[in-house]
Structure formats: C-alpha cells, structure tokens
A and B are shown apart, each in its own frame.
Chain A
Amino acid sequence: MDPIKEAMLHRSKAAKLERRGRWISFTCISIIVLVVVAIFSFVATRGLATFFDNKVNLWSFLSKTTWSPAVKDAHGAPQVGALPMIVGSFGVTFLSAIVATPFAVGAAIFMTEISPQVGKRVLQPVIELLVGIPSVVYGFIGLSVVVPLIRNVFGGTGFGILAGTFVLFVMILPTVTSMTVDALSAVPRHYREASLALGGTRWQTISKVVLRAAMPGILTGVVFGMARAFGEALAVQMVIGNAALLPQNLISPASTLTSVLTSGIGNTVMGSLENNALWSLALLLLLMSLAFNLLIRWIGKKGEMK
C-alpha cells in the first residue's frame, strides 16, 4: 500500500501515546472517586446495621445518655445512647472555635494590614510550623502540661472538655489564620484607599471595610477549623478523660465521638452490637464532616463577591 495512505489510515504513534496518557490520568482520578464512594458505602453499611439488624431506635441512639452497649435495659433494648459523645464533640469543637477565632483573625489582620513585613518573616513560618506539628505531640503536651495545670487551678482530675478545648485551640489556630489571611488579602486595595480617603483611621478601615468584605472567607476558615476539630482523634482522646458520661462541667471527664472510636473499636468483635454501635458513631462523624463541607459551599456561594 502507498505509505501515505497507510499513515492516514492508522493512528500515529503520538496519537496512541496521547490516548494512553489520557487513559492513565483518567484511571488515577477514578481511583480517588472510587475510594470516596467505597468509604461512604462501607461505613454506611456497618453504621446502619445498628438500626436495621439490632433494631436500635434512631432517636434513642441520638438522645439517650447511657453508653454501655453490652448491657440491656429493662425492656431488653441495648443501651446505646450516644448523646454524651455528641455533646462532647460539639462542645470541644465550638469552644475551641470560639477561642481560636479572635486570635486567628487578629493574627491575620496583623499579617496583612499592620505589619506585612514582620508577618511574612516571622508569623508566616510560625503558622506553617504549627500546622506541621503532629497531633500526638499536641496530645502529649496537653497531657503533660495542660492537664496538670487545670488540675492545679480548678481541681478535679484535669481531664475534660476544657483540656480538649485548649489542645484543639492550638491545633486549629493555624488553619483558621491562614485562611483568614487569604480572605483579607483578596479584598481589593481600592476598598482600603476609599475608606482612608474618607478620613477613616486604620482601625476604622479594618473593622468597617476590610473585615466586612472578607467576612465570607473568614467564616469559611472558621468552619474549616471546626471540621478539623470535630474530626481530630488522638490529641483529644489523650486529654478528654474518656468517660462516656454527659459532661457536668468543663473539667469533668468526658468523651467525643472520635475518642470512643479510637479506644473502642479494637476491643469489640466484628458484627456484634458493641461493634456496630461504634460504626454508627463513625457514620455520624462522616455525616458531620459532610455537613461541614456543605456549609462551606453554602457560605462560598452566598458570599461570592459580585
């Protein structure tokens, strides 16, 4: 056959390579999607077994306060009330976010508005290092510094929501700060110039103009920090005291969804009610992380600068 015709009829080497490359990269992305789907389906099947196989009432799971899956109550229903863990998780999450937000926003304002040079040279690396410190190290410091401190100041054992809040505050501070910095630097320069030209002081400009314009970005940062705090396991588990009781105050031993999971899942038999109940907690954790995700998207959509 005529070589030109042949070349026209067959795919060139480059075209084959192109197809192969495209196929390889598509496979990689499919693996990631597959992993996400698998995580949801596996955890959901396990977690829902408590309600379908063991016939636990969803409402009593969410609202009862006694967590001892091995023991049955007077009606023969297993005692799986997850409220103490839910309260614990939300408690440390909200408290640490409340404590961390002013610090994070303050630091971010300092880095973008007050002294960008010091911010870039000193605070930026500090924040990056804080992100890098492994969570077990935070847990260890919490255990050896924060817990004894609380014990000496407030009495009690020192373990509890207050200690958890303190550890999580340091852990989410860098996350919230760096996202707030991004939000603040995204505010156009002429906003500031307009305010200053009207005679506003620097603080008036920051509080009345810059912060308002950057509000959606700051909120996103805070929600990100909360998602991180909600899912953090080991550091919290080391300082919270691990008692599945409804917390009486900030310094009584408590537990979170993650702490019960880490300490419990190895000690139960697969497929038993004790085990299924723990998987339900994992499912709850998964759904909450999904909820945080949706919240972030919603804020992003609402706050889009037009």
Chain B
Amino acid sequence: MDAKQKDKLATGILYAIAGIIVLLLASLLGYILIQGLPHVSWHFLTSPAKAFEAGGGIGIQLFNSVYLLVLSMLISVPIALGAGIYLAEYAKANWITDVVRTAIEILSSLPSVVVGLFGFLVFVLQFNFGFSILSGALALTMFNLPLLTRNVEDSLRQVSFAQREAGLALGLSRWETVIHVVIPESLPGIITGMILGAGRVFGEAAALIYTAGQSAPALNFSDWNPFDIASPLNPIRPAETLAVHIWKINSEGIQPDAAAVSAGASAVLILAVLLFNILARFLGNRLYRKMTAES
C-alpha cells in the first residue's frame, strides 16, 4: 500500500470515528428523550415521589434541585469572583501564588465523592447541620469553586491591558479599575461560565448523597417561613435532589415503575442541562454585544 492509499484509508477511518461519536450522542439523547418524555406530564413534575407504589412524581426533588442550586451559587459566586480577581489582578509571581494555584488544581481534580464525604464529616457531623440543604450547598460550593474561579480568572485576563491602564490613568485605584472597567468588560465570559457551572451542579449527585441526604420529606408549599420544618425554604431539612433520586431508585428502589420514573427524571435532567447550555451561549453573546456596543 503506498502513501496515497494509506492517506485515503486514514481519512476514511477518521470520518468514521467522527460519525460514530455523533451517532453515540444522538442515540444517547434519543434513547433518554424517547423513553423519558412520554412519562413527563404536569402531574409527574409536581406530585411527590412514592416509595412503594407506581405513579409517583418528582415534584419535591425538582424543587430541591433548584433551591440547592440557587443556594450554592449564592455562596460560591462571590467567593469565586474574589478569588478570581486576586489571581488575575493582584497575585505576584511567587511561591505563594504557586501554592494557591496548585491547591485550586488539586481541588478541581478531586473526585466528587471525596468532596461529598468531606462534607459529610465536617458539615453533617462536626457542625451538626445534619443531612440538609445547607450541608449540600456547602459541599457543592467546594465542588464548584475551583472551576468557577478559573473561569473568572481567564475571563479577566482576556481584557486587554490597555483598559486597565486607561482606568489607572484616570486616577482610579486598582480595585476601582477592576470593579468599574475590567469586570463589566469580562462579564459575558463570567456569566457563561457561571451558567455552565450551574448546569454541572444541577446534575451532580455523588457529592450530595451524604450531605443533602437521600430522603425528601413532604413539603407544605403554602408555608414560606424558612424556619418551619415543612417549609420548602427551610435550609436545614434533608433534601433529595433529582440526580440523587435517579441514583436512589435505580440502586435501592423498590417502586414497580422505577425504570419509567428514572427515564422521566433523566429526560427532565437532560432538558435542564440542554437549557443551561443554550442559555449560556445565548446570554453570553447577547451580553457581549450589549456591553461592547458591537452590533
């Protein structure tokens, strides 16, 4: 076989590989949506789960997922912003910065189950928060922080240095330059990263089974006082999320319709992640146009 034939063969194989991967995703999505969507109805999305009989929904789990997501983003976004600003604007090239960067790298590569176990040890047992939304949100924060921080730092670094010089030349302090000049310019990138992070958090389960717990007590959706135990807003009640629910009914569940419920829940989860992805692209582009006056 001469070089030209080899070239043709290799090209063919590469096309095949690309095709297989596209096909793989298409069949994954197709399977989930075809299996799952028929089960998704308003009733399924709003009614509570049933432990022993068919016909349960995912209402409480869905609410828990969203609430947990909001709470953990509320904690992690400010910290990630601060840390990203420090790394991009203040950090000098010395050994302290090296240590910090290594720490972030290690944290981002830790298995999420280890993060979950640490949360269990510290928040659930040591601080006595119990299996609760609060413990879960803190565990998710640890899981999410390194990636968010890196995203903030990268977005800040993409702002051209002339912008900073302009701010400083106007007599602004470094901090004011960052807040009023650099952050607005890099906001689209930061927002995109945050939404993608939110998608990741939404589907996370391993960090949650021993922090937010695996049970979803009944909620009273007319009681919005955060201190009542049945209130949906109470942060120290156990809260099984959608992703944990899928794991739970598949590995330990005894519902007769476990497969149908998990297919439906998976479809909802996938749609949510898709939504986050589209939102990230759309909002990022839109914000970028708005803030840079590029039509």
Contacts and interface: CB of A to CB of B under 8 A. Distances in A.
Interface of A: 14-15, 17-18, 20-22, 24-29, 31-33, 35-39, 42-43, 46, 102-103, 106-107, 109-111, 114-115, 118-119, 122-123, 126-130, 132-137, 139-141, 143-145, 170, 173, 177, 200-204, 206-207, 224, 227, 230-234, 237-238, 258, 261-263, 265-266, 270, 279, 282, 285-286, 289-290, 292-293
A39 B115 contact: yes
A106 B17 contact: yes
B20 A133 contact: no
Given A103-B17, A132-B273, A134-B243, A126 B25 contact: yes
B111 A18 contact: no
B82 A27 contact: yes
3 tightest CB-CB pairs across the interface, nearest first?
A231-B111, A134-B203, A28-B82
SS class, residues of chain B in contact with chain A: helix
Contacts of A46: 121
A137 B266 contact: yes
B86 A25 contact: yes
B223 interface: no
30 contacts: A14-B171, A17-B176, A22-B90, A109-B14, A110-B18, A126-B25, A127-B21, A129-B25, A129-B29, A130-B24, A132-B203, A133-B203, A134-B202, A134-B204, A135-B203, A135-B206, A139-B247, A141-B28, A144-B263, A203-B3, A231-B112, A231-B114, A233-B113, A265-B117, A265-B210, A270-B125, A279-B117, A282-B114, A285-B111, A289-B114
Given A26-B86, A26-B90, A39 B118 contact: yes
Interface residues of B toward A: which range? 35 or more
Given A136-B246, A227-B109, A293-B106, A32 B83 contact: yes
B277 A114 contact: no
B3 A289 contact: no
